[in-house]
Structure 1
Amino acid sequence: MDIKHHQNSARGQRRKQPHTTVQRLLSWGLPVSCSRFLWRQPGEFPVTAFLLGAGAGGLLAIGLGAMGWGTSPHIRCASLLLVPKMLGKEGRLFVLGYALTAIYVVMEVWCRNRIPVEGNFGQTYDSLNQSIHGLDGEFSANIDFKEEKQAGVLGLNTSWERVSTEVRDYVYRQEARLEWALGLLHVLLSCTFLLVLHASFSYMDSYNHDIRFDNIYISTYFCQIDDRRKKLGKRTLLPLRKAEAKTVIFPCKPTIQASEMSNVVRELLETLPILLLLVVLCGLDWALYSIFDTIRHHSFLQYSFRSSHKLEVKVGGDSMLARLLRKTIGALNTSSETVMESNNMPCLPQPVGLDARAYWRAALPIGLLVCLCLLQAFGYRLRRVIAAFYFPKREKKRILFLYNDLLKKRAAFTKLRRAAILRRARQQKASRHPLADILHRGCPLLRRWLRRRCVVCQAPETPESYVCRTLDCEAVYCWSCWDDMRQRCPVCTPREELSSSAFSDSNDDTAYAG
């Protein structure tokens, strides 16, 4: 029993610490058997791996997709890389297509149904104004009424059935054109999906063949290497300097970092044209609606024509002839009254503004496009997580290379940045008045505004900062930068001593992480 307990404890000690956050979470939340299966060595559990992979592939794809999921980790990795790729520029092509479709459909319906203006509206309006001004003067007119039967369409002797058929055929032709345009757009979107799939495989190949490709992440294994070197008393990298932090990414930070900001700004600028198009079209919609609504309210005219006449013949006398004339001519006595009202309402536009639903349909894809630009940074981080899950050994090699590369750059920092350090030290010394040093030493309340900065990283001076003791130098270094300078001031130290073999080739420079 003691021997068995000793063997179990030895196995527990030999169990490797998780190198990634995903591995740590899965090891904590899953049973030991599942964790062992996920982090198996090549060749272990071949039947189980094939069946589970084929089953998962069958749920996501058909045919060769299931076979690929069952036999190749490259297929599984590339398939999962579709998710972060859809959050990148490839996925934005989908949303951009839907945004243009929404704008096109909304504006096409708006132009067809919301502005029913006749072609001769301007001429009719001018003629109407001239008629109104002509009514100001005195006039006399003779009106003859004559009723004539006219065809349904002026100038054409066509039946209503034929007109209805022609209008219906025209509508069908326009609808067919719109369906053809939408079908072409669907084909283009399908081609875009092929681009996304190609980008997924391209990322996976670059990840496995180019060790510098997308190798800028300070992962959990990177921190473990740094902790191990710290325990051994070797030079470490964490915390990174400001200049170094601008070139790498901390995956667990919930904010967009400096190295990601340039891509985000560029993608937002690429989204700006479609956003401006939407704003211009919405502004044009509001302007046209306001114009036509003003015309409808202020150009309304109504005419009222009233006429009446009375014909009465009076025959006087009591003779027989008079009575005869009264009976015969009296039948001609008539009276009538005519009332006619008309207005120009059929000639005026009847604008109808777009409702809130139409605006939402056009603006929602644009908003989604902007959100994808902001989420692109986190989607790109997810690409590395997925690739590291399927290729853990490759991820360890990449992190070791990144750590050693940063060590080399920091070791050569003094030689490469000596000119900049000298310039900063001279500028700081030239622009600082001697009274500032006196107030800095004698008045603690003013030290916050009078403190100097590190000539290497420009960090504010703190009580732990080191001030060079050389006369007429007094360059300020924060403690980490002073340690990086190997406690040698590059401002007052001759170049020959800085570039000597005793200074540049130390054990710390050659003892890289392994």
Structure 2
Amino acid sequence: MVLDELEKQFYVDFDLSHNFTVNKDVSKTVSEITQGIAQEIEQRTRVFRLVLAWASRGLALTLIWLFLKAYFYRRNYLCKDKYDNCYITSMFVEIDDRRTSMNKETLLPLRRSERSKYIRPFSWKLAKMERISMLTGLLLWGSQCLWVALIISADYGAHWLLRMIRWNAALNTQAQNPHQVHMHVEGEGLLADLYREVITSFDPMSGKNFSIDTTRCLPNPQPPDMAAYKTIAFFLL
């Protein structure tokens, strides 16, 4: 009876509530931070994108220039007698034979100094004017090939760089909570239960593991268009 009365004196009925409050002081939202990152990347790559845009326009103008040059060459060749007139045609040979039969001055056979200037249309040997034109064309073609190679290298290099960033910075793992110290109350009775409830209220609210995934924040470059590369190479060759 005395123990029962003593237990009634120490018996307490109470409710224990635990509130977990977190105050965050963030000046920007997630969307604003994402927009800021996108704007910074755009500013840093502005010069590079400007160079690529002007390079594309330059390639288009080069094709137009080639067509215009071919058109004006044909028109000048048909309308002007002295324009690129270094070929000895069959008509020219026939006229020279007629002058020979009439005992007039002829142009054939050519002198040694004239053989490098005038040739037959289907001759394997190139005239001096043709050699100069061929060297000029090769220089222009080589410069265009070099320019296109630089553009393709920049495009593929940008893809490779972004892929390496994603490959090396990608992290997807399950992180564990740090080690914690727990107190365990042994025994039975009113005081043991009271101590056990008080200690339990100070335990962390979350005992679960959390995951870390950085792939959502990393660039995801698309593979280069190899078909476009082959088409460009086909037109150059």
Q: Which TM-score band (shorter chain)?
A: 0.5 to 0.7
Map 1:380-459; keep pairs closer than 5 Å.
none
Counterpart pick for 2:92 among 222, 246, 258: 222
1:279 equivalent in structure 2: 149
> Residue in 2 aligned with 1:244?
114
> How far is 1:247 from its partner?
0.7
Whichever residue aligns with residue 153 of structure 2, its letter is G
Take 1:194 and 1:262, find their aligned partners in 2: how far apart are those partners?
A: 20
Contact conserved, 1:217 with 1:249, CA < 8 A, in 2?
yes
**Secondary structure class of the residue paired with 2:155:** helix
What is the 5 A alignment of 1:41-190?
Answer: 146=22, 153-154=31-32, 189=64
Q: State the match for 1:457 in structure 2.
A: none
Distance 1:283 1:314, change over 3 A: same
Task: Give the partner amino acid of 2:80.
Answer: S
Cα distance in 1, alignment partners of residues 167 and 22 from structure 2: 34
Q: Which amino acid aligns with 1:362?
A: I
- Unmatched runs of 5 consecutive residues or more in structure 1: 1-143, 157-177, 368-514
Given that residues 206 and 213 in structure 1 are in contact (C-alpha distance below 8 angstroms), is that contact kept between their aligned partners in structure 2? yes
CA-CA distance at 1:215 after TM superposition: 3.6
* Mapped contact 2:87–2:119 kept (Cα < 8 A): yes
User: C-alpha deviations, 1:11-40, integer Å up to 9, x for none?
Assistant: xxxxxxxxxxxxxxxxxxxxxxxxxxxxxx
Q: Aligned residue pairs: how many?
A: 186
Change (3 A) 1:364 1:206: same
1:305 aligns with 2:183: no
CA contact (8 A) 1:296 1:348 kept: yes
Task: Give the distance between the partners of 2:99 and 2:212, measured in 1 at CA.
Answer: 97
Partners of 1:249 and 1:259 within 8 A in 2: no
SS in structure 1 at match of 2:117:
coil
Structure 2: how far apart are the matches of 1:203 and 1:231? 30
Matched, 1:260 2:134: no
1:206 aligned onto 2:80: yes
- TM-superposed CA distance for 1:342, in Å, is 0.7
Mapped partners of 1:293, 1:155: distance in 2 = 23
Q: Which residue of 2 aligns with 1:11?
A: none
Deviations 1:158-184 (A, max 9, x none): xxxxxxxxxxxxxxxxxxxx9xx98xx
Sort the Cα spacing of 1:261 and 1:221 in 2 relative to 1 into closer, same or farther, 3 A: same
Give the direction of change, closer, same or farther, for the CA distance of 1:214–1:342 in structure 2 (3 Å limit).
closer
Report the alpha carbon displacement of residue 264 of structure 1 after superposing the two structures with TM. Answer: 1.4
1:356 to 212, 226, 233: 226
Kept after mapping to 2: 8 A contact 1:218/1:251 = yes
Q: Which of 316, 323, 344 is 2:188 aligned to?
A: 316
Query: What secondary structure does 1:243 align onto?
Result: coil
Output the aligned Cα RMSD.
Answer: 4.8
Give the drift of 1:269: 1.8
What is the CA deviation profile of residues 96-123 of structure 1, one whole-angstrom value per residue up to 9, with x for unaligned ones? xxxxxxxxxxxxxxxxxxxxxxxxxxxx
| Structure 2 equivalent of residue 270 of structure 1 | 140
Contact 1:304 1:340 in 2 (8 A): yes
Residue 364 to residue 284, structure 1, CA distance change in 2 (3 Å): same
* C-alpha distance in structure 2 between counterparts of 1:255 and 1:322, whole Å: 115
Contact in 2 for aligned 1:306/1:337 (Cα 8 Å): no
Task: State the distance in 1 between where 2:111 and 2:69 align.
Answer: 39
- Aligned-residue offset at 1:364: 3.6
The one-letter code of the counterpart of 2:188 is: G
Counterpart CA distance in 2 for 1:213 and 1:199 is: 9
Give the TM-score, by structure 2 length. 0.53
Q: Contact 1:248 / 1:259 at 8 angstroms: preserved in 2?
A: no
Q: Would you tell me which structure has more helix in proportion to its own residues? A: 1
Percent of residue pairs identical: 24
Whole-Å separation in 2 of the counterparts to 1:297 and 1:349: 10
Q: How far off is 1:347 after superposition?
A: 3.9
1:293 to 156, 159, 163: 163
- Distance in 2, matches of 1:256 and 1:262, equals 10
Q: Is the contact between residue 292 and residue 351 of structure 1 (CA under 8 Å) also seen in structure 2?
A: yes
Q: How far 1:350 moved relative to its partner? A: 3.4
